[in-house]
Amino acid sequence: MALQPRLHLDIGWAQMLSIFAPLIQSRAALEARVEAAWPANAVPALSVRTALDAVLTSLALPAGSAIAMSAVTIQNMADVVRAHGLEPVPVDLDIATLSPTASQIEHAITATGARAYIHAHLFGSRNDLAAVAAICRARGAVLIEDCAQGYTGAPPTDAPIADVSLYSFGPIKAQTCLSGAVALCRTPELTAAIRAILSVHPPMPEQWLRTRALKYSALKVLSSPTAYGLAIAALRAQGLDPDKAIGGAARGFSGPDLMSSLRRAPPRNLLRLLAKRSEHPAGDAWRTNAGSVLDAELGATFERPGSAAQTHAYWLYPVLVQDPLAAMETMRAAGFDATRGATSLRAITDGTNFTAPNASRLIEHVLYLPIAPSMDELTLKRMARALREGVRPLQATKEKVAA
């Protein structure tokens, strides 16, 4: 059975094969190329979590200090905060904008004495942080924005509003390099501090990225609907859960010794690919076109996280449904591999007096619809029709609007 895959690896075969090409340039030269392709004060790193670790190390905050975080984020981001002896404080978000309000952030910082606020842009949406930046500076808190899901494929041209902006080139991100990140800092002083911390990390072996390239090449081969449908059928025939198997294959870092695996430098062939993709960014207008088609087809039938965001690049297309597991089966029967496990996003709700009902509601009921360049308008409309006709929307609750 043909099945539209959940994953689109945004990398061509030429870029994939370049990982195996001979290396000529030095590490310093490759790092300089990456930095030159971005605005001033850019630093390459192995991952966004590696960069966050370096930022927190540079801040040297007292143990037990509060770190405010938008309440839906990658689990490992909260894990890194805790690894520094710091306490994550969730700030609930409005599902329509995928952002806390400035007043909520100010209250969290003031009430807890938070020394930093980490804001995650979700699903391709972007939020204007000008008011938040002003609040953070007035309260002496460092503003860190996680742009991993908000990157549209080209380095920004404006000066950063946040103290640090973190961009990811992980396996399922736009313009992927199969790993890698860039930290864009507001001041030369913070840039120098982060660079000094990262410079002592031992580099990952060159073979590490080549092994990843082989794994993701296999996933890329399976990205056609026919091949993907056969792969899902084979997994089920072996009694395996396709959702867990594919989600695990796309995950970047895991395991009990997270910090040791993060505290490494990018191999040179990763820096070369990161430089090349930063110097020659490719557009991804197909994402916004696909998102616009689905928006028009679904209308107000389903609650769509990010529908009121200021800008949206549709890195993912989430909807809220009553029963996500049943919805996955319904959509697969219609030929679309909708999923709950496209990312390792979690609601940060534990270990604090701050609650995040909207964040919990989003994570509990979210369903990600597949979108890919190969899906034409008719295919997108057919997917929207299958969703409308076969899946029950989540009913509105009083927590829908953030307090």
Tens of pLDDT, residue by residue over 27-41, are: 999 999 999 999 889
Per-position pLDDT tens, the chain of length 403: 688 888 789 999 999 999 999 999 999 999 999 999 998 899 999 999 999 999 999 999 999 999 999 999 999 999 999 999 999 999 999 999 999 999 999 999 999 999 999 999 999 999 999 999 999 999 999 999 999 998 888 888 887 899 999 999 999 998 999 999 999 999 999 999 999 999 999 999 999 999 999 999 998 998 888 888 888 888 888 888 777 777 666 665 555 688 999 999 999 999 999 999 999 988 778 899 999 999 999 999 999 999 999 889 999 999 999 999 999 999 999 999 999 876 688 998 865 677 899 999 999 999 999 998 889 999 999 999 999 999 999 986 544 444 3
Encoded tokens for 80? 């890194």
Tens of pLDDT, residue by residue over 296-345, are: 999 999 999 999 998 899 999 999 999 999 999 999 999 999 998 766 88
C-beta separation of 216 from 314 below 8 A:
no
List of residues 6+ apart from 320 with CB closer than 8 A: 95, 302, 303, 304, 305, 361, 362, 365, 366, 367, 393, 394
State the angle between helix axes of 130-139 and 102-112 in degrees (0 to 180), rounded to the nearest 10. Answer: 20
Q: How far is CA 391 from the centre of its chain?
A: 26
C-beta separation of 139 from 66 below 8 A:
no
Q: What are phi and psi of 399, to 5 degrees?
A: -85, 0
The arrangement of secondary structure in 13-199, i.e. its CATH architecture, is 3-Layer(aba) Sandwich (3.40)
Domain assignments of the chain as residue spans, ordered by start: 13-199
* 3-state per-residue secondary structure call for the chain: CCCECCCCCCCCHHHHHHCCCCCCCCHHHHHHHHHHHCCCCEEEECCHHHHHHHHHHHHCCCCCCEEEEECEEEHHHHHHHHHCCCEEEEECCECCCCECCHHHHHHHHHHHCCCEEEEECCCCEECCCHHHHHHHHHHCCEEEEECCCCCCCCCCCCCCCCCEEEEECCCCCCCCCCCCEEEEECCHHHHHHHHHHHHCCCECCHHHHHHHHHHHHHHHHCCCHHHHHHHHHHHHHCCCCHHHHHHHHCCCCCCCCHHHHHCCECCHHHHHHHHHHHHCCCCCHHHHHHHHHHHHHHCCCCCCCCCCCCEECCCCEEEEECCHHHHHHHHHHCCECCECCCCCEEECCCCCCCCCHHHHHHHHHEEEECCCCCCCHHHHHHHHHHHHHHCCECCCCHHHCCC
Q: What are phi and psi of 129, to 5 degrees?
A: -105, 15
Q: Which of 264, 350, 266 is nearest to 53 (CA)?
A: 264
**Separation in Å, CA 21 to CA 17, 33, 48, 180, 272:** 7, 18, 26, 18, 10
Query: Which residues are paired to 94 by β-bridges?
Result: 99
